[in-house]
Amino acid sequence: MELRVLAVGDVCGSSGLQYLERELRALRRKHNIDFCAVNGENAAVVGITPQQADRILDAGADVITLGNHSYNRREIAEYLEDSRYILRPANDSPLYPGRGMGVFDTKAGPVTVISLIGRCNMAFGPDNPFLLAERLLKQIDTRMILVDFHAEATSEKLAMGYHLDGKVSALWGTHTHVPTADNQILPQGTGYVTDLGMTGPIYSVLGVRPEQSVSTFRGGLSSRYETAPGPCKLEGVIFTLDAGTGRCLETERIFCHDTNSPRG
């Protein structure tokens, strides 16, 4: 039996969340998706609220993964403790609320999802994700394992892909919000892509107003990021898994956008 998994890139701001709500269920039907993971750490631009998490799940996500902005909205803390359908990075401090791994039922059997965060160029010091991944895998008895690796450096993401090749079913990168063209099956059978991309405004710099980023890079005073206006897009990758072996059989990049956008 095969399992079709859709991994959706970081949801950015209110417009990205609204676009996800409009499009995700139709995408699931069109592509026969059995399980969907959505990175939601930017739903509030920086962070996510309980209400936004509920909306992502109601939109059709089976699990929400997070990243370096997991705790920017402190009201999410209790939600992280109470809900098994949202995962913060497993290698964050054990004192932080929530969990970094979960097991979910699907038509093809149980699937384990792991959320990890990188250390290269990040402004804090999580536990070593490579060593933690090794420890977590010893605790897992499902054949199908999915990993969201939220990291800045492409080299760190690629290294993790090869480190876990043949040990997990699929690993995708998030955080940089720019889709990469390297979705593939690694030599030992793990589906991989360096970055899914994002869900949010097309005409933006990683989801925010371009003029804000331009001002920052010119040396101006920084201001609180605002979601860019205009048409939106959704980017992600479909991984088709063999439920019997846990190996990835196929990868397919997904891109959809507002009809009023000239992008194709």
Say whether 35 sits in a helix, a strand or coil: strand
Give the C-alpha separation, 240 to 4, whole Å: 5
Asked if 98 contacts 87 with a C-beta cutoff of 8 angstroms, the reply is yes
Give the C-alpha separation, 12 to 44, whole Å: 7
Asked if 120 contacts 106 with a C-beta cutoff of 8 angstroms, the reply is no
Catalytic annotation on 69?
A: yes
Catalytic one of 69, 150, 175, 177: 69
- Quote the tokens at residue 211: 């003029």
Count of other CB atoms within 10 angstroms of residue 70: 26
Asked if 248 contacts 190 with a C-beta cutoff of 8 angstroms, the reply is yes
- Quote the tokens at residue 122: 């990040």
Around 230, how many Cα atoms within 13 Å sit in the side-chain half-sphere?
A: 15
Question: DSSP class of residue 124?
Answer: S
Give the C-alpha separation, 34 to 16, whole Å: 22
Supply the residues annotated as catalytic: 69
